[in-house]
Structure 1
Amino acid sequence: MGKFLYAPEIAKLGHVALVSADLEKSLSFFRDTIGLEETEVVDGVHYLRAWGDFEHHTLSIKAGSTSYIDHIGWRTKRREDVATFAKLLEDAGTEVRWIQAGEEVAQGEAIRFELPSGHRFELYYDMEKTPADESRKSVLKNQTYKSWAKGVSPRRIDHVNLQTSHDNAEIVKYLQEALGFKLREYFVNPDDVQVASWLSVTNLVHDVAIMSTPRSKEPNEMHHIAYWLDNSQDLLRAADILCEADVQFVGPGKHGISQAMYIYVKDPGSGLRLEIFTNGYLIFEPDWEPIKWTYEEYLKNGSAYWGDRRRDDVDRDAQVKELLRS
């Protein structure tokens, strides 16, 4: 690393900044149906988090003429890592923009830059851990809000899944070499070309996934964001809540990759897909070797291990497209 005494590191996924073409519908969905707590509203931007999230926000929503993801925030392990990443990224030819403290509410100094696909990432360290007001505060000192206060009520943000028309291997290489992500699982198409990858900086199977598909109209689309539920019973409860709200969804089912259970549901305001996510496995081995799935293996067990896969197994390819479509 040259003159640097240590390699800068990303600690975890921090937040997603959503712009919605129908703000009221998005707020109704995320606040009331999903049950995220609103921290505050500043200059038309609504800041939300799950009941177990400690930082000021894990999702922000503001109105726009169209819907899109403005940026995805990642917290570094050390305050000085932000500047170190900036230096390394610039030396490697990445254009970096500095975000001054307070420019994003409750957040300290940060940098923003784009992946080769055009997805905009933000790196920061300082973020206020805003306490909940007394009416919503948990009696548990190690928890922010009362759990199960409303809606689906996920515990925390979990991961993001980026969709792109860009070369998958190139984005994965950038995430690995520039940002320190580790490749955990991936699958290839019938021509043995890598088209989907799951990477992490934590013990999770993925903090970020990359899906490359010709169905993407742009190289920097979002497939979904995910919030975590504690167990499978919570996921079944979520299905009931979504049915009562007359919201269509895909699932419940279980992925082979990650071994996690899921429900996919779309925000009616922005069209953003949300995955409600639970179970799965953790990775502790320092010498983990990325797991490769062939196209046939992925169709059979990788995406929908059970749940949404067709009972007669006639058209698994169509089912995979259903799970991956925009």
Structure 2
Amino acid sequence: MGKPEIAKLGHVALVSTDLDQSLKFFKEVIGLEETTEIDGVHYLRAWGDFQHHTLSIEQGEDSYVKWIGWRTKTKDCVLGFKKLLQEANVVVEEFPMGSTPGIGNTIRFQLPSGHTFEFYYDVDKPEAASEYKSILKNQVYQAHRKGISPRRIDHVNIHTSTNANHTFDFLLDTLGFNLREYVKGDEGILAGWMSVTSLVHDVALVQKSALPSKARLHHLSYWLDNSQDILRAADILREQGIPFIGPGKHGISQAIYLYVMDPGSGCRVELFTGGYLIFEPDWEPIEWTRDEQLTVGNTYWGDSVQDKELNNITIEAR
């Protein structure tokens, strides 16, 4: 067997101090569908997500992210990553099929930044209830049935107060991510956009010196099909009286964005569309300076993501 590979971002496990508020936000405002609820944990997905869930939410005394899940390309890749990680002296925990509903045998470990990742291959792909099921065989739920209604999970953006270069090396060399765009500073890479798919990023990592704890989630992102969907999302959020940042366009990734905060957990959600795909096998990562990031990279046009209170809050990742 060759080097193990990751196929895609799978899910985020979220703990909320106000579960009712979070469920109202993600189900009715964002428009995610609930697959099931087991032992107080609610499992949600977008109308175009096929696997069991892309977000789980449960009640807790603190709001935080328990782990970020990734699906591997084959079942053997899970064991392959276990071997690689142990050879790198990384502590690996194993969980049997069913420990998380809808997910097969799993390994879980921490990045040098302190974020917890889990890898798995086997997944359940339950059909939608008949009254919500799409007539399209290549789609799970009816689109735009409620709320903003994104199509699928897109990416995560994580922050760390540690030296990010250790985590970049780990993501690129050990886990097999590809660096697509990055911000260079005197001490190395300050921010990097990395993917295992053709997306500009499945995960972004940013080094921030002043954080309440070393591992944070800046945002979880869901994909909308076009910029008109982003404008519709802004209307829905305004009607609900929920503050947001955007719409705007990133220079880095070239995507159209809108940021909104879950009032229950404090988890930021980016609604995301546009951008570009990478199909070149010899892609050369795009380098930005810190000044370029601030003047055009973060915000190319529109409502700025910089120096806004909503944008400066991050939720702990453990």
Partners of 2:244 and 2:130 lie apart in 1 by 34
Please report how far the alpha carbon of residue 165 of structure 1 lies from its aligned counterpart in structure 2 after TM superposition: 0.3
The alignment status of 1:120 with 2:113, answered yes or no, reads no
The residue identity in structure 2 corresponding to 1:76 is T
Name the residue aligned to 1:150: 146
Q: Aligned equivalents of 2:149 and 2:306: distance in 1?
A: 33
Pair 1:18 & 2:14 matched: yes
- The answer (yes or no) to whether the contact 2:92–2:107 under 8 Å persists in 1 is yes
Decide which of 74, 90, 109 is 2:86's aligned counterpart: 90
Q: Give CA deviations for 1:283-323 in whole Å, capped at 9, x if unaligned.
A: 011111111111111111100000024xxxxxx9746x874
1:313 is aligned to none
Structure 1 unaligned residues grouped into runs of 5+: 310-315
- What is the SS of the residue equivalent to 2:90? coil
Q: Is the 8 A contact 2:225 2:273 kept in 1?
A: yes
Cα deviation digits, residues 91-110 of structure 1 (max 9, x gap): 11000000110100011101
Give the TM-score, by structure 2 length.
Answer: 0.96
Q: Secondary structure at the match of 2:168?
A: helix
Q: Which residue of 2 aligns with 1:262?
A: 257
Q: Is the 8 A contact 2:113 2:164 kept in 1?
A: no
Which residue identity is paired with 2:28?
A: D
For the aligned residues, what is the CA RMSD? 1.4
1:28-67 aligned within 5 A: 28-67=24-63
Residue number among 272, 279, 293 corresponding to 1:277 in the alignment: 272
Checking the alignment, whether the CA contact within 8 Å between 1:168 and 1:197 is kept in structure 2 is no
TM value normalised by structure 1: 0.94
Contact 2:106 2:118 in 1 (8 A): yes
Taking every aligned residue pair, what percent have the same amino acid on both sides?
Answer: 57
Question: What amino acid is the match of 1:241?
Answer: I
**8 Å Cα contact 1:215-1:325 kept in structure 2:** no
CA distance in 1 between counterparts of 2:43 and 2:3 reads: 32
Structure-1 residue corresponding to 2:67: 71
* Correspondent of 2:211 among 208, 213, 216: 216
Question: What are the Cα deviations for residues 171-213 of structure 1, in whole angstroms up to 9, with x where unaligned?
Answer: 1110011110011111134x46421111000000000000111
The aligned length equals: 314
Separation of aligned partners in 2, 1:95 and 1:236? 45
CA contact (8 A) 2:159 2:217 kept: yes
Residue pair 2:298, 2:306 contacting (<8 A) in 1 also: no
Higher relative contact order (CA 8 A, sep 6+): 2
2 CA distance for matches of 1:7 and 1:59? 28
Look up the match of 1:170. 166
Query: What secondary structure does 1:160 align onto?
Result: strand
Residue deviations 1:119-172 (CA, integer Å, cap 9, x gap): 000000001001001010001000000000000000000000001101122111
Measure the CA separation in 1 of the matches of 2:256 and 2:16.
27
Alpha-carbon distance in structure 2 between the residues aligned to 1:80 and 1:193: 34
In the alignment, the residues of structure 1 paired with residue 307 and residue 101 of structure 2 have an alpha-carbon distance, to the nearest angstrom, of 43
| Alignment gaps of 5+ in structure 2 | none
Conserved 8 A contact 1:114-1:120: yes
Question: Is residue 302 of structure 1 aligned with residue 297 of structure 2?
Answer: yes
Shift of 1:276: 0.3
Alignment pair present for 1:139 and 2:145: no
1:312 corresponds to which residue? none
Distance 1:80 1:192 in 2: 37
The one-letter amino acid of 1:12's match is K
Q: Which residue of 2 aligns with 1:225?
A: 220
Alignment pair present for 1:6 and 2:12: no
- Name the SS of the counterpart of 1:144 in structure 2: coil
Distance 1:325 1:59 in 2: 20
SS in 2 for 1:300: helix
Q: 1:106 to 1:154 in 2, by over 3 A?
A: same
